[in-house]
């Protein structure tokens, strides 16, 4: 396995850290294990999460070479399903039954990789059902998927059609577009003058900000540990889709002009040098809206870092910013918003 050992904290450079957690198995651990030619179990035992004793950042004890990461995100998992799901509206009962058919076919063919893929896809649709005193029913549908009970699911068609209408906010199929979150930005920033986004162009606030009449742009930045040149669906690259569908200008991050508010969602935790990136961000922008996974669960294998409250406060101190953390609506989805102003 071609891995580099990480001795210094990627945020504060401190050399003292302690074991934090092992990542759970997921699509990325499956793909990475195949790429580096080890078993998935061996990978997850070797590459684990440690916590910096100085700034509290959680990071991986070992990390992959940029060329391997680039292969992961251009060949193995070339397009960003959650981004396209948010842009194309995959949350519908008809789509559920379409994916159920493929799941059934994979079970018949005993195609383990496809079985896992469609099991996760179906579970994520159930997970995005709005909570409304229906926990038991959601649990029942999930258990049918887990136990490959296709007949149980087909017999639950009325229930599925009743609940799969509008996706729950901030879960997979709604992405990170939210009127409430935009209003929060406006309030805490004292009015948003202009808005830029970086990372995935499909799942954030660009469309909403544009509709509000704000100058917007999507900032292109090469990142080996993120979807890039091959994020193509239905013949359209994700950036072209945003450009054509929502009239969002595409601008290179490196040469972009100074702006007011920038948003990047589920992005910072992919970067190998988050501190350097944040320096560039705060050189160019007065305010930054950053969404990250909570750290109640172990940091996933494909995420280099996990952000604790103390590492967030470290950023605020370092760049002399106030950080707002009380946007509550997002929290039930397992995400946190950190708005630096």
User: Which residues are at the interface with Zn ion (CB under 5 A)?
Assistant: 9, 11-12, 14, 52, 54-55, 57
Minimal distance, residue 212 CB to Zn ion, in Å: 37
Which one, 117 or 311, has the nearer CB to Zn ion? 311
* 40-69 residues labelled b (16+ CB within 10 A) or e (exposed): beebbeebbbbbbebbbbbbbbebbeeebb
Contact 302, 270 (CB under 8 A): yes
Crossing angle (nearest 10°) for helices 274-284 and 309-318:
50
Which one, 14 or 130, has the nearer CB to Zn ion? 14
Is 11 strand, coil or helix? Answer: coil
Which one, 246 or 277, has the nearer CB to Zn ion? 277
Using CA atoms, how far apart are residues 209 and 198, in angstroms rounded to an integer? 14
Which one, 55 or 289, has the nearer CB to Zn ion? 55
Task: Please give the sequence-ordered ranges of beta strands (E in DSSP) within the chain, or none if there are none.
Answer: 3-5, 17-21, 49-52, 58-60, 62-64, 195-198, 216-220, 232-233, 236-237, 250-252, 259-265, 285-293, 305-306, 323-324, 335-340
Minimal distance, residue 161 CB to Zn ion, in Å: 50
Minimal distance, residue 298 CB to Zn ion, in Å: 18
- Two structure tokens written together for 165: 């209408």
Which one, 183 or 309, has the nearer CB to Zn ion? 309
Minimal distance, residue 51 CB to Zn ion, in Å: 9
Q: Is 135 exposed, middle or buried (0-12, 13-18, 19+ CB in 10 A)?
A: exposed
Which one, 59 or 173, has the nearer CB to Zn ion? 59
Minimal distance, residue 231 CB to Zn ion, in Å: 31
């Amino acid at each position: 396995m071609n891995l580099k050992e990480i001795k210094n904290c990627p945020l504060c450079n401190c050399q003292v850290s302690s074991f934090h957690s092992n990542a759970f198995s997921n699509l990325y651990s499956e793909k990475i294990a195949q790429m580096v030619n080890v078993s998935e179990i061996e990978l997850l035992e070797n590459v684990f999460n440690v916590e910096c004793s100085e700034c509290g950042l959680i990071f991986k004890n070992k990390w992959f070479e940029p060329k391997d990461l680039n292969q992961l995100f251009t060949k193995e998992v070339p397009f960003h399903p959650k981004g396209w799901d948010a842009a194309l509206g995959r949350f519908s009962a008809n789509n559920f039954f379409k994916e159920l058919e493929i799941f059934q076919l994979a079970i018949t063919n005993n195609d383990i990789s496809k079985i896992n893929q469609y099991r996760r896809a179906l579970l994520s649709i159930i997970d995005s059902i709005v909570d409304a005193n229906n926990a038991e029913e959601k649990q029942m549908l999930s258990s049918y998927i887990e136990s490959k009970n296709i007949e149980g699911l087909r017999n639950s068609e009325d229930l599925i059609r009743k609940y799969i209408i509008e996706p729950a906010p901030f879960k997979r199929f709604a992405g990170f577009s939210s009127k409430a979150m935009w209003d929060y930005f406006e309030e805490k920033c004292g009015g948003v003058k202009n808005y830029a986004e970086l990372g995935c162009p499909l799942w954030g606030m660009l469309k909403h900000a544009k509709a509000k009449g704000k100058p917007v742009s999507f900032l292109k930045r090469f990142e080996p540990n993120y979807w890039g040149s091959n994020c193509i669906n239905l013949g359209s690259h994700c950036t072209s889709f945003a450009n054509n569908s929502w009239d969002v200008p595409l601008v290179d991050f490196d040469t972009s002009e100074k702006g007011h508010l920038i948003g990047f969602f589920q992005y910072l935790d992919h970067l190998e040098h988050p501190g350097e990136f944040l320096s560039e961000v705060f050189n160019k922008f007065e305010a930054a809206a950053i969404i990250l996974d909570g750290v109640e669960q172990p940091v996933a294998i494909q995420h280099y870092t996990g952000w604790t409250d103390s590492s967030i406060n470290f950023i605020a101190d370092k760049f002399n910013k106030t950080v707002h953390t009380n946007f509550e609506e997002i929290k039930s989805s397992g995400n946190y918003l950190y708005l630096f102003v």
